[in-house]
Homo-oligomer: A and B are copies of this chain.
């Protein structure tokens, strides 16, 4: 048995959106221990320079490594686009972002080579999904649309009613004319709107949840490396740990809604402490 197999999986995001990836991993790998870091004091990463995002990603990876993680999942689209190569160059353990798995699944589900991508302004303007898709097949026709209202809308937790459908129809109207095969949900908040998005784009479009695809990729990596957890945890054993750099307003309520249950073992890491994890 591999020594590392009993160690936890580290997952981080600029905020709470990455909890959708935590949830997807929990569904596929219920026996694994997870350590989540949400950088709620410095969210959003999208407005920051690439250099700053790389430094933040290094600090958090260092923090997770000190907690003996066996792999790191970058559950943040901005950090995946900007910091993944840097992290992989610095450390030897498996490090996975959300963009590659999402693009791979989009590519596999687009027989007519027409793929839609939705995300935050920064993700869409970074062109990261388009680059990733074109590296798989240069013939792909990628139609991208930034949807800045969707993150606050998910955090509000509004019901599926005419207001939500009004906003979604405005953003997704472009895909009615463009006849896409699949639509990549390129933001970890968007899976919470999956049903409504499917209604608006129609059942002919395959929705790709980048977080879910990332969870599948985690399973594959851990299996290939023989790193999968072997012991079923005992009933009631405290397993998962959640760290954040700040407790914003309504944090517990929003996070619990995202996870589908209250967060256990929740801790705050002060920014000064986080900055001490700087890589030199």
List the interface of chain A (C-beta within 8 A of B). 40-41, 43, 47-49, 52, 121-122, 125, 146, 148-149, 152-153, 155-156, 158, 162-163, 166-167, 170, 246, 248-250, 271
Contact = CB atoms under 8 A, between A and B. Distances in A.
A48 B247 CA distance: 10
25 contacts: A40-B47, A41-B47, A41-B48, A41-B49, A43-B47, A47-B246, A47-B248, A48-B246, A49-B246, A49-B271, A52-B271, A122-B248, A125-B249, A148-B152, A148-B155, A148-B156, A149-B149, A149-B152, A149-B153, A152-B152, A158-B170, A163-B163, A163-B166, A163-B170, A167-B167
Top-7 shortest CB links A-B? A163-B166, A125-B249, A148-B152, A121-B249, A149-B152, A166-B166, A47-B248
Contact of A249 (B49, B122, B250, B271): B122
Nearest to A166: B163
Nearest to A168: B163
A162 B166 contact: yes
Given A47-B246, A163-B167, 18 more contacts: A41-B48, A41-B49, A43-B47, A47-B248, A48-B246, A49-B246, A52-B271, A121-B248, A121-B250, A122-B248, A125-B249, A148-B156, A149-B152, A149-B156, A158-B170, A163-B163, A163-B166, A166-B166
